[in-house]
Every structure is written in structure tokens, then in C-alpha cells.
A and B are shown apart, each in its own frame.
Chain A
Amino acid sequence: MITLSHYLALAGLLFVVGLFGALAKRNAVAVLMGIELMLNAVNINLVAFNRFMNPGEVTGQVFALFVIVVAAAEVAVGLAIVINLYRRRLATDVEEADWLKW
């Protein structure tokens, strides 16, 4: 029997894999990919909670749909900036953009 905990653990695993990618990658596009994985994990959480804890309403699904919408807008703007930057320096390495300089 697959329970809520299974889905939550799957989402947790996906989230940390994405987080690791977002924190450990040099290429800005790869960082965005990591963030997308994290957002997918969030959506699995939302839908699973919706299905198992609160099936009378569709709040979790609605939330997940909004997350998808925002993620698409974010990726579009993020990539526009990456392309903008690339054109000037022919680089997409976030580390070359003095990434995380203290």
C-alpha cells in the first residue's frame, strides 16, 4: 500500500537533489534546472497532501498550478538575462559572474 509518507519521501528526495544541483552547479542554466526540480518536488507535496489529507477541496492542485505558472515566467526571465549576459561576455558560468562573492 502506497501511503502519503511514500509520496512525501519521494518529494523530499527530489527536492534535495534539486537543491544540490542549484547550489553546486556553475552553469546558470543548470542552476535553473535544479530549481525546477525543487519546484516539482513542492508540487508533488501539494498534490499528495491534497489527495490524502484534504480530498474535499482542490486547494493543493490549484496551488500547484500557480507554482507551474510562476515557474514558467521565472524561467523565461532568467533565460533572457542569461542570454543578455552571454552576449556580452560569452559566458554562462555563474562563478565567473563573481558568484557568491562575500
Chain B
Amino acid sequence: MEGGASVAIFWLLAALTVGAAVAVVMLPNIVHSALYLVLTFIGVAGIYILLEAEFLAAVQVLIYAGGVAVLLIFGVMLTRRGHIRQSNPFNSYHVAAGVVSLALFILVVLALGRSPWHAFPGPWPEDTVGAVAEAFLGPYVLPFEVAAVLLLVGIVGAILLAREEKGEK
């Protein structure tokens, strides 16, 4: 993508992503928050496409928008209590949390402004899927195997913890 079009798309996606993220945090109804979360995830996938990381964009849509978000919605539905309209309140630390977050953002932006990046958009691999696959089974084979064990632990743990024992209830 060249020139003006990509600039416009970036700003559009950025506004969508951040707007949806703010909605996730601010809305009082947690079901709405979950739906805006899906929108944020899709916005981030768009950013990946803009960065020419197509495989990552696909994974983002499949796992985040399709998996994690659905899991979270399940979580919301299985644990409903009281009135759904007031299901996502702030806690008593929200002012301090806001101050900390704002301070960190200012810190990052200040550092950004003072960092000269001599960026070079060099030769990007044509076929990112192939390059990623080779990296996974080449230099990153150890974390790849660890990830397999980690997912197994996650599955076993989730079943162990969420399972209803006989005689419970």
C-alpha cells in the first residue's frame, strides 16, 4: 500500500482500535465490553495487515477474536449475577489507577519523542508464513516445545479447576 491510502487506513484503524478499547474499559455492561473487545482485536488484526504480517493477522482473528473473546463471553455468561446493566463497575482504586496509567503514557511518549529511529523498511519476506514456520522449527524450537507443554498444563488445569465434582452443589 502506498501513500495517502495507507495513512488514512492507519488513522481509521487506530481510531477504531483505541475507541473500542476505551469502550471495553468504560462501559458499565460487561457484555458490551466483551463485544467491543472483539472489535479491538479485529482492529489490531487490521494493523498487522498494514504492517504486512498477514499470518499474524489471521492468527489474531482466529485465536483472539474467535477464541479468547468467545471464552470471555462464556465466562461472563456463566458467572452472571445481579443486574447485567451494572455488571462492570469500577473499584475504589480507579483514580489512582488512572493517574498511574496516565503517568506511564506520558513517560512512553516522552521517550518516543526523544528516540531517533533510523528505521529501514528493508527486504520483508514475501512469504511470511514460510519464514515464521522455519523460525518456529529452527531457532525457536525450544520455546515451541515449551509452548506445547504449557498448553497441556493449561488444558489440564482448566478442566481440573472448572470441573464439578460429584456431590458438589
A and B form one complex: yes
B56 touches A71 (CB 8 A): no
**Chain A 3-44: CB-based contact to B (< 8 A → 1; otherwise 0):** 111111110111111111101111101101110110010011
Chain A hits for B104, CB < 8 A: 15-16, 19
When C-beta atoms are compared, the residue in chain B nearest to A40 turns out to be B44
A2 touches B71 (CB 8 A): no
Chain A hits for B140, CB < 8 A: 62
Smallest Cβ distance from B80 to chain A, in angstroms? 9
B52 touches A10 (CB 8 A): no
Residues of A in contact with B (beta carbons under 8 Å apart): 1-10, 12-21, 23-27, 29-30, 32-34, 36-37, 40, 43-44, 47-48, 50-53, 55-59, 61-62, 64-66, 68-77, 79-84, 86-87, 90-92, 94-95, 99-100
The CA of A1 and the CA of B121, in the complex, are separated in Å by 13
Q: Which of B20-42 contact A (CB under 8 A)?
A: 21-22, 24-25, 30, 33-34, 37, 40-41
- Given A25-B25, A76-B155: A86 touches B93 (CB 8 Å cut-off): no
The CA of A65 and the CA of B102, in the complex, are separated in Å by 28
A83 touches B91 (CB 8 A): no
Chain B hits for A68, CB < 8 A: 59-60, 63-64
| A to B CB contacts below 8 Å, 11 in the list | A9-B109, A16-B102, A17-B25, A18-B21, A21-B24, A24-B91, A33-B72, A37-B24, A43-B56, A56-B123, A58-B125
